[in-house]
Structure formats: structure tokens, C-alpha cells
């Protein structure tokens, strides 16, 4: 049982202003795995005041001082990496190989990237008679989701620390454990009091208090579109900057070439990773209509080949995060059936033998781009395959979406794939499994307005000043 009842405020582990606790459920077995405290606006006031005091000195530190701290955090992170991964698995149900693999690797990668960017970053440059300075924006509120908990927290915290900001993190109630350990790591590394603060609790309480707070300079939010809109409204009165990283319905275009079937299989298996709970998941798979049968067979085999089970066992996919997420995914599968999509693999209900825990069958539909299952973010292991007739049609289908977060092109002709990528109205396109910690990540359209990762992630936390003459 993990009982994480204290908050980290002003360099100390403190009790909430008003005691109130909530259970945390392990999605793999539906059992209570621990408890957290739920904070109140009074805790937010204390943390914001601490962050404001700390900003006076942290905002003035040298690059060297900030690098020293980031490196101390890195040493501590590496020491506790396994614990972080186990916490991720317990809180949100990722298979242990993923929790202790890509989940913690992403956190580690953003930390290393912040160090690399900071070493080279120009906070001041001369252009003609003007000095352009980049200065930390100040006190930042960070509100994060449960799906990639280490990624979402680390991609915010480390650039903010690197640029001289101070912060208050509000982790998700569904995945609060890894954030608690991360706070312990940041504390153990000797972070000055008030620079980093963490309060657990409800988004509607802590998130709202941060968004409306007159002494918070910016909010960095990752999560759903609905909440993102609410945060912007709450932040409007105090004219703070709001960085939004929202949902997606990304297209994965498989080109018509000899590797088509193989690429369909990889895209299908890739979509099922993390139980499909990835904002940039390639959840619309676009395949050449002329080769639909081949693509269907390949996707079916790939989906049926995804083993599902206990995250602590040797399975490719664990449960989804919660009962309500499970039910919402089931509703979408029903919706797909109702609107006439052809079920290729998976479907309603739990996989055989998995009655306890929020397990979903890896599901593939053949549908069209106007169906609800192709337009809304399902956030589960449900893939919609859509046929296209020629590259122009593929691009048109890909762009016909309210979202624009990710995109994928698979094919042996990389230059052709890049040309297609240039035509896609979306924030990032990964070609043939490309990956880069320095590549900016963020959304067009309803997928948000921010850019995280690498040097672009620094810009979120910086004000720009001109000194002319
Ligand atoms: P969510 O419901 O929007 O919650 C995200 C965070 O916001 C949680 O910490 C939540 O607190 C908090 N929150 C809830 N209501 C709030 C309010 N009124 N004011 C301020 N904060 C509030 O999203 P989710 O269900 O956790 O995550 C799934 C969504 O995140 C998906 O749409 C996914 O696509 C998106 N996502 C986007 C990216 C990206 O980089 N673009 C990355 C990952 C996920 P609670 O603890 O109370 O829930
Ligand atoms: Mg939610």
C-alpha cells in the first residue's frame, strides 16, 4: 500500500491545509493500491507564495548553477529509475517492461535534453542596435495527465528549471505515485526551497485555483480539449500565458509499396502500445484501397498477436487506466458497430480470462473518415482503418480532422514520405519510426497551441525583452 499524504511545498513535506484523502485504484486488479491527499485552494496559495519568493533568486541564477542542479537531479533520477517505472505500472497499468522502459526513458530523455539545450542556449543576443533577452516567465502552474506520467511531468519541469522558472505541479489523481517519487528526487538533489512544489488533488479544485491565481504567470497544461478550454477561460482574467497540449486523432499513412503489409502490422501493433492511451497515437490507419484485403489480414494478425494481461506478467498490453476509461472505450466500440464499421479484430467486452481489471481487446475497425470512431479521440486500443485512392486522397483524409497533433508515414521512399508530411496540417510527423528528443512536439487546430520538447520547449517558459539603443 502506498500512502502519499504529504505535499511538497517550499522545500518541505507538509500536511494539506485541510485533511482529505482519496483512494488510488490499481487498474490491473481494481484493488485499492494506496491513498493520496486532496489539496485545497489554501495549499495552492502557500505553494504559489513560496514559488514567488524563490523566483526572486532562482530567476537570477547562472546557467552553471542551473546545470549543476539538473545534473544532480539526473544522478538521483538514475538511482531511482526502477522505482519510478514500478510506480507508473502500478498507477496506470502499463506493462512493467514499458513502465520501466519507455515511460522512464522519456523522463530521462527530457532531462538530458534540457541539459544539452541549456549548455548551448543563448539567453541574450545582439541584433543591430537591439539586445534581445530571453527571461524566465516566472511562476508556472503545471497540470498533467495520467497516460505518460513521467513524460508529461518531465517535459515541463526540466525546461522550466533550466530557464529559471519556479513551479507548482498538479499531477493526475489517477497516476499520482510517480510524481511523488519525482518530487522526492528533486528534493534529494538539493533544489532550493520553493523552486519546485507539488500538490496532489482534483483538477477542478487545484487546477482551477492555479489557473485563476493572480500570482501564477503561466499554466502549462496537457490533457483533454474540454479541460484545456476551461483553463483558458479561468486564466483569461489574469492574462496569463496558457500552453495547451491536447488530444489527437492522428493519421498513419502506409504507402503502396512492397513493405505495405509489414508496415500495416507495425502501425497496428504500435497503436496498441500503452493500451492506445497516447495523445499522438496513429489511430486512423490509411491504407491503399487497391490492397485493402491484404491490409485487413495484416492488421487482423497484428492485433490478434498483441498479448493482453497482468502488467507484471510478460504481456504486450495491460489494462486501460480506469473504469470510466474502460466504459468510454466500450461505448466507442459499440458506436463503431452501430455506425456500420466492419469489425476486423477485438470488439466489445474483456479479453477471455481477464474478468478483473480494466482490460480491453485490441480492436480494429474498417471504416470511413466521417464516422464518430474516426473523428473523436477514443484514447484506447481501437484502430480505425480507412482506404485511400492515391496520395492526394490520403493527404485529404489525414487533414480532414478537428485535430492535428501527430502523423506518420511509412514507406520505402523517404523523400516521397517527406513530401506528404509537408502537406499534413499537424504538429509532428514521424517517418518510418523516426524519433528525436530535440524535435518540437505540439498541436495544430484543436490539439493545442504549445510546443514542448527540446529547444522549443524552452520558449514556453521564456519572456522576450528588447533593449534598444
Ligand atoms: P484531463 O481530464 O483533461 O485531465 C488532465 C489534468 O487536468 C488532470 O491533472 C486533471 O485533474 C486536470 N483537470 C481536470 N479538470 C480541471 C480543471 N477544471 N482545471 C484545471 N485542471 C483540471 O485529461 P486526462 O483524461 O487525464 O488525459 C487524457 C487527455 O490528455 C487526452 O485527451 C490526451 O490526448 C491528452 N494528452 C495530450 C498530450 C499532448 O502532449 N498533446 C499528451 C498526453 C495526453 P484530475 O486529477 O482531477 O483528473
Ligand atoms: Mg479525465
Residue 151 CA to ligand 1 center (angstroms) comes to 14
Q: Mean pLDDT, to the nearest integer, of 26-45?
A: 98
**So what's the pLDDT on residue 120?**
98
71, with CB counted inside 10 A (0-12, 13-18, 19+), is middle
CA 181 to ligand 1 center in whole angstroms = 20
Q: For position 131, what pLDDT does the model report?
A: 98
Determine the pLDDT at residue 208: 98
DSSP-assigned letter for residue 350: P
223 Cβ below 6 A of ligand 1: yes
Q: Tell me, using a 6 A CB cutoff, whether residue 216 lines ligand 1.
A: no
Numbers of helices and strands, H then E, in the chain: 16, 22
Q: What is the pLDDT of residues 59-106, one digit of tens each?
A: 999 999 999 999 999 999 999 999 999 999 999 999 999 999 999 999
In the three-class reduction of DSSP (H, G, I as helix; E, B as strand; rest coil), residue 269 is classed as: helix
Rounded to an integer, what distance in angstroms lies between the CA atom of residue 350 and that of residue 246?
28
User: Is-contact 27 319, C-beta < 8 A?
Assistant: yes
Q: Which of 40, 145, 271 has most ligand 1 atoms within 8 Å of its beta carbon, as the pocket-test mutant?
A: 145
Measure the CA–CA gap between 198 and 213, rounded to whole angstroms.
16
- Taking only the tens place, the pLDDT of each residue in 137-172 is 999 999 999 999 999 999 999 999 999 999 999 999
How much is the pLDDT for 373? 98
Q: What pLDDT score was predicted for residue 132?
A: 98
E strand or H helix at 395: helix 391-399
| pLDDT score of 343 | 99
- Does the beta carbon of 217 lie inside 6 Å of ligand 1? no
Q: What is the mean pLDDT of the chain?
A: 98
* Per-residue confidence (pLDDT) for residue 12, from 0 to 100: 98
Kindly state if the Cβ of 146 falls inside 6 Å of ligand 1: yes
- What one-character-per-residue DSSP string does 182-214 give? HHHHHHHTTPPTTTEEE--S-IIIIIHHHHH-T
Write down all domains in the chain, each with its CATH number in brackets: 2-246+447-468 (3.40.605.10), 251-436 (3.40.309.10)
pLDDT of res. 364:
99
Q: What is the pLDDT of residues 417-463, one digit of tens each?
A: 999 999 999 999 999 999 999 999 999 999 999 999 999 999 999 99
pTM across the whole model:
0.98
Which residues, other chains included, contact 152 with Cβ-Cβ below 8 Å and sequence gap of 6+?
144, 145, 222
The answer, yes or no, to whether any atom of ligand 1 lies below 6 A from the CB of 279, is yes
Q: What is the rounded distance in angstroms from the CA atom of residue 79 to the CA atom of residue 102?
A: 17
Distance 218 CA to ligand 1 centre (A): 17
pLDDT of residue 465: 98
* Closest CA relative to residue 409, chosen from 271, 301, 282: 282
Determine how many CB atoms are found less than 10 A away from the CB of residue 76.
18
Planar angle of CA 30, 247, 114, nearest 5 degrees:
95
Give percent above pLDDT 90 in the chain.
100
Which active-site residues does the annotation give? 245, 279
Say which residues have a Cβ less than 8 Å from residue 75's Cβ, sequence separation at least 6: 189
pLDDT at 289: 98
Shortest-distance Cα residue to atom 14 of ligand 1: 203
Atom of ligand 1 nearest to the CA of 405: 41
The CA 126 to ligand 1 mean position distance, Å, reads: 40
Question: Ligand 1: which atom is nearest the Cα of residue 226?
Answer: 3
Give, in degrees to the nearest 5, the angle at Cα 276 between 274 and 281.
105
Which of 121, 205, 207, 133 lies closest to 158 in space, CA to CA?
A: 121
183-216 residue pLDDT tens: 999 999 999 999 999 999 999 999 999 999 999 9
- Are residues 219 and 210 in contact, defined by beta-carbon separation less than 8 angstroms? yes
Q: What is the pLDDT of residue 417?
A: 98
End-to-end alpha carbon distance in the chain: 62
Beta carbon of 324 within 6 Å of any ligand 1 atom: no
Q: How confident is the model at residue 304 (pLDDT cuts 50, 70, 90)?
A: very high
Amino acid at each position: 500500500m502506498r500512502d502519499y499524504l504529504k505535499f511538497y511545498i517550499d522545500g518541505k513535506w507538509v500536511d494539506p491545509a485541510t485533511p482529505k484523502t482519496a483512494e488510488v485504484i490499481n487498474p490491473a486488479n481494481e484493488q485499492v493500491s494506496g491513498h493520496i491527499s486532496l489539496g485545497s485552494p489554501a495549499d495552492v496559495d502557500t505553494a504559489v507564495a513560496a514559488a514567488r519568493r524563490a523566483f526572486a533568486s532562482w530567476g537570477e541564477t547562472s546557467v552553471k548553477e542551473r546545470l549543476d542542479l539538473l545534473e544532480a537531479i539526473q544522478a538521483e533520477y538514475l538511482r531511482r529509475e526502477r522505482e519510478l517505472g514500478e510506480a507508473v505500472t502500478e498507477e496506470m497499468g502499463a506493462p512493467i517492461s514499458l513502465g520501466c522502459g519507455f515511460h522512464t526513458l522519456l523522463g530521462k530523455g527530457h532531462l538530458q535534453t534540457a541539459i544539452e539545450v541549456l549548455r548551448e542556449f543563448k539567453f541574450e543576443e545582439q541584433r543591430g542596435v537591439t539586445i534581445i533577452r530571453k527571461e524566465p516567465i516566472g511562476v508556472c502552474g503545471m497540470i498533467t495527465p495520467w497516460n505518460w506520467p513521467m513524460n508529461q511531468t518531465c517535459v515541463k519541469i526540466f525546461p522550466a528549471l533550466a530557464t529559471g522558472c519556479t513551479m507548482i505541479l498538479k499531477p493526475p489523481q489517477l497516476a499520482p505515485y510517480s510524481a511523488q517519487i519525482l518530487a522526492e528526487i528533486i528534493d534529494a538533489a538539493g533544489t532550493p526551497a520553493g523552486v519546485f512544489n507539488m500538490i496532489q488533488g482534483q483538477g477542478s479544485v487545484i487546477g482551477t485555483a492555479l489557473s485563476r491565481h493572480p500570482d501564477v504567470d503561466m499554466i502549462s497544461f496537457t490533457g483533454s480539449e474540454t479541460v484545456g478550454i476551461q483553463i483558458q477561460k479561468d486564466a483569461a482574467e489574469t492574462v496569463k500565458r496558457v500552453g495547451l497540449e491536447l488530444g489527437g486523432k492522428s493519421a498513419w499513412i502506409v504507402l503502396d509499396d512492397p513493405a505495405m503489409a509489414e508496415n500495416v502490422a507495425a502501425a497496428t501493433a504500435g497503436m496498441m502500445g500503452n493500451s492506445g492511451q497516447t495523445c499522438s497515437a496513429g489511430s486512423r490507419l490509411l491504407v491503399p484501397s487497391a490492397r485493402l484485403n491484404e491490409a485487413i489480414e495484416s492488421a487482423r494478425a497484428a492485433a490478434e498477436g498483441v498479448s493482453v494481461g497482468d502488467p507484471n506478467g510478460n504481456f504486450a498490453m495491460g489494462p486501460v487506466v480506469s473504469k470510466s476509461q474502460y466504459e468510454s472505450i466500450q461505448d466507442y466500440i459499440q458506436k463503431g458497430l452501430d455506425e456500420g464499421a466492419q469489425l476486423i479484430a477485438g470488439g466489445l467486452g474483456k479479453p477471455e480470462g481477464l474478468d478483473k481489471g480494466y482490460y480491453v481487446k485490441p480492436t480494429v475497425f474498417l471504416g470511413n473518415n466521417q464516422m464518430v470512431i474516426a473523428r473523436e479521440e477514443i484514447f484506447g486500443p481501437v484502430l480505425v482503418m480507412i482506404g485511400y485512392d492515391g496520395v492526394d486522397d490520403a493527404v485529404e483524409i489525414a487533414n480532414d480532422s478537428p485535430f492535428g497533433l501527430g502523423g506518420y508515414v511509412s514507406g520505402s521512399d523517404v523523400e516521397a514520405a517527406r513530401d506528404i508530411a509537408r502537406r499534413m496540417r499537424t504538429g509532428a510527423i514521424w517517418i518510418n519510426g523516426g524519433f528525436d528528443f530535440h524535435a518540437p512536439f505540439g498541436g495544430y487546430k484543436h490539439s493545442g497551441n504549445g510546443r514542448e520538447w527540446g529547444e522549443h520547449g524552452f520558449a514556453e517558459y521564456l519572456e522576450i525583452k528588447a533593449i534598444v539603443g
